[in-house]
């Protein structure tokens, strides 16, 4: 399935979650077995030769693609979560929202020294959470081998925040 | 990897999320590439011959296994989410908590008539959310072909709430 056909499975939802936002709803793509399968494989093919030990996904939607990619790449999966959700000792990273800040947590023992970590999410928007995830990986001694996204909202210029990394997005807006 | 070895990758966390609860932390299993891979394949092998069109997972942790299984089974993925998270028209199901109730939502157009849906979660506890998910599938005209769990807390007797379904758990407590 080519990129244009994948894009046809993404639905525009006006004014969600707030007025003036055109939300890109990926659920029709996920629900289509062929589109979902081809998307995961296209991302995996980009990283197959890289050597990925762990795939990191952030809750909630990031878990879907990151879990599938971890299995496809024969890698482990590590979750980044909102505060208070992980049960063991955590390392935290803050990131900016439009108003204020938010925090992501990861288990402090989630990554061994020099493990190679692929960061995966459904959407690259401002790059704030991707940048926070990269800081968490590096603080624990891991190496960020890439950042993979199903779709990228290029007009938000998220790449500028993660310019040091190999960023790959399947679908561009 | 046999079931005992998988079980060795699950970590007991006392008093999480509240005093007196022994939490089963699956993150060491997910982070171990072989344990994660073997768990997904064991669940998939149980359903390979069943004919699965869609795998349903609930946020947040349920997304990890359900996403991987959907890819492994060449099925689509559909998310059940907490209220207000899904952007399009939704169908809701309530379920009981220890005190009060909570709600899961699914897109009303997520399942076509007679599609075969596998419900997947990390833990079978009281069976309340699994039962709510089954009601959502059936309300939309789908067929629940099974419910797969990574682990089951048998002492909570969740199976009694979902006795009408093919329930399969990889690891029993």
CB pair distance less than 8 Å for A30 and B60: no
A77 touches chain B (CB under 8 A): yes
* Contact (CB, 8 A) for B104 and B136: yes
A107 touches chain B (CB under 8 A): yes
* Pick among 3.40.50.970, 3.40.50.300, 3.40.50.2020, 3.40.50.720: CATH of A50-172: 3.40.50.2020
CB pair distance less than 8 Å for A74 and B27: no
> What would the mean pLDDT of A86-93 be, rounded to a whole number?
98
Residues of B in contact with A11 (CB under 8 A): 88
Q: pLDDT band at A55, cuts 50/70/90?
A: very high
B78 touches chain A (CB under 8 A): yes
What's the order of all strands across the beta sheet hosting B116-124? B76-80, B54-58, B116-124, B143-152, B167-172
Interface confidence (ipTM) of the complex: 0.96
A81 touches chain B (CB under 8 A): yes
When CB atoms are compared, the residue of B17, B30, B68 closest to A68 is: B68
Residues of A in contact with B87 (CB under 8 A): 13, 16-17, 23, 25
CB pair distance less than 8 Å for A59 and B59: yes
- The yes-or-no answer on residue B135 being catalytic is no
Q: Of the candidates B102, B94, B161, which has an alpha carbon nearest to the alpha carbon of residue B126?
A: B161
* Residue B105 confidence (pLDDT): 98
- Nearest-10 Cα torsion for A117, A132, A16, B110: 20
* Residue B154 confidence (pLDDT): 96
Q: Is A144 exposed, middle or buried (0-12, 13-18, 19+ CB in 10 A)?
A: buried
pLDDT at A70 over 80: yes
* pLDDT digit string (tens) for chain B, length 173 residues: 899 999 999 999 999 999 999 999 999 999 999 999 999 999 999 999 999 999 999 999 999 999 999 999 999 999 999 999 999 999 999 998 878 899 999 999 999 999 999 999 999 999 999 999 999 999 999 999 999 999 999 999 999 999 999 999 999 99
When CB atoms are compared, the residue of A16, A65, A75 closest to B33 is: A75
* Residue B99 confidence (pLDDT): 81
pLDDT at A98 over 80: no
Q: Which residues of A are catalytic?
A: 61, 98
Residues of A in contact with B88 (CB under 8 A): 11, 13, 25, 27
pLDDT at A99 over 90: no
* Residue B82 confidence (pLDDT): 96
Q: Is B17 exposed, middle or buried (0-12, 13-18, 19+ CB in 10 A)?
A: exposed
Region of A51 (left: φ > 0; alpha: ψ -120 to 50; beta: rest) is left
* Residue A107 confidence (pLDDT): 98
The conformation of residue B81, written as its DSSP 8-state character, comes to B
pTM of the predicted protein model: 0.97
pLDDT at A149 over 80: yes
CB pair distance less than 8 Å for B87 and A17: yes
DSSP string, A79-117: EEB-TT-SSS-EEEEEEE-SSSEEEEEEETTSS-TT-EE
Q: Where are the domains of chain A?
A: 50-172
When CB atoms are compared, the residue of A65, A84, A85 closest to B67 is: A65
* Residue A100 confidence (pLDDT): 87
> What would the mean pLDDT of A101-107 be, rounded to a whole number?
97
């Amino acid at each position: 399935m080519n990129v244009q056909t994948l894009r046809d499975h993404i639905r525009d939802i006006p004014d969600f979650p707030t007025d003036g936002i055109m939300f890109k709803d990926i659920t029709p793509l996920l629900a289509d077995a062929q589109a979902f399968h081809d998307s995961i494989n296209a991302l995996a093919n980009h990283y197959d030769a890289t050597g990925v030990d762990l795939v990191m996904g952030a809750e909630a939607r990031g878990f879907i693609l990151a879990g599938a990619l971890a299995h496809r790449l024969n890698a482990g999966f590590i979750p980044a979560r909102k505060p208070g959700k992980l049960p063991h000792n955590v390392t935290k990273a803050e990131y900016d929202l439009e108003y204020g800040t938010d925090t992501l947590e990861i288990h402090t023992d989630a990554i061994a020294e020099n493990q190679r970590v692929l960061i995966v999410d459904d959407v690259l928007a401002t790059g704030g959470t991707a940048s926070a995830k990269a800081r968490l990986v590096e603080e624990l001694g891991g190496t960020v081998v890439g950042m993979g996204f199903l779709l990228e909202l290029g007009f938000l210029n998220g790449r500028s925040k993660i310019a040091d990394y190999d960023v790959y997005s399947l679908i561009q807006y």
